[in-house]
């Protein structure tokens, strides 16, 4: 097979113009809303899940941290729907692009850190030097803590990109193997196809878990700075 393994990760274009912006704007349109007093089962379930998720993430925050609740809930919904839509055939997943994940991680991390320096500058600076540090190790520890702080948004973005990309590549490889074996050995094809179904179920779980992990880590960064 001459198909490019990474073709599905190339940003699509329409008439030579990048279509990534339209794809990013599409998932929010799938979230149903209701103007009626009594909601249907779908909207009721959606509201229950949103309330459960926000309650779990916001319990540890103080009043200032809870002002981010709407942003964090919107973030987890956006990442989850984007990841799930990317599992559809011939679709594009924006979260496989490191540039997009960095564009989400850096502003959120920077906002949390800046808030910490504005409201609790002593506590924020204390993170760079643990209590009881020997004097000769102070310069080295300050450098290490500074690097660990600056690498946090990169770790957020790379974790999401790597997990989603690896799952898509594995599904692509197993799907190609299933198609190639279909004309050679039918029993082997059925076994590989069963593995592909199980892997698809696993990837659905990974798509949701990665959205939760990304948002939870942002929430923890916020908690450390408020």
Q: Tell me the per-residue pLDDT of 9-56, one tens digit each, with 9 for 90 and over.
A: 666 666 666 666 777 777 777 776 767 767 777 778 878 888 888 787
Average pLDDT per block of 10 residues along the chain, 226 residues long: 58 66 72 72 80 80 80 87 82 82 89 82 72 75 82 90 87 82 80 87 90 89 80
Residue 226 CA to residue 63 CA, distance in Å, equals: 9
Question: What is the maximum span of the chain, computed from C-alpha positions, in angstroms?
Answer: 70
Q: In this structure, are residues 57 and 216 in contact, taking their beta carbons and an 8 Å threshold?
A: yes
- Residue 15: per-residue pLDDT: 64
* pTM attached to this predicted model: 0.78
- Which one-letter DSSP state was computed for residue 124? H
How far apart are the two ends of the chain, measured CA to CA in Å? 54
């Amino acid at each position: 097979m001459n198909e490019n393994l990474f073709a599905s990760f190339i940003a699509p274009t329409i008439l030579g113009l990048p279509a990534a912006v339209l794809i990013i704007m599409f998932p929010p349109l799938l979230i149903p809303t209701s103007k009626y007093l009594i909601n249907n089962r779908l909207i009721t379930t959606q509201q229950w899940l949103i309330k459960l998720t926000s309650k779990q993430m916001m319990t540890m925050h103080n009043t200032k941290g809870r002002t981010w609740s709407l942003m964090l809930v919107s973030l987890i919904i956006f990442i989850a729907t984007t990841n799930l839509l990317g599992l559809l055939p011939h679709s594009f997943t924006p979260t496989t692009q490191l540039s997009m994940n960095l564009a989400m991680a850096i502003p959120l991390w920077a906002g949390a850190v800046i808030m910490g320096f504005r409201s609790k500058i002593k506590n924020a600076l204390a993170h760079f030097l643990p209590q009881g540090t020997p004097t000769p190790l102070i310069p080295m520890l300050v450098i290490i803590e500074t690097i660990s702080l600056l690498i946090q948004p990169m770790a957020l973005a790379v974790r999401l990109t790597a997990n989603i990309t690896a799952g898509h590549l594995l599904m692509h490889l197993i799907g190609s193997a299933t198609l190639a074996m279909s004309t050679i050995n039918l029993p082997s094809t059925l076994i590989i196809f069963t593995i592909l179904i199980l892997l698809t179920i696993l990837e659905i779980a990974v798509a949701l878990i990665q959205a939760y992990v990304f948002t939870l880590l942002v929430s923890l960064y916020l908690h450390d700075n408020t």
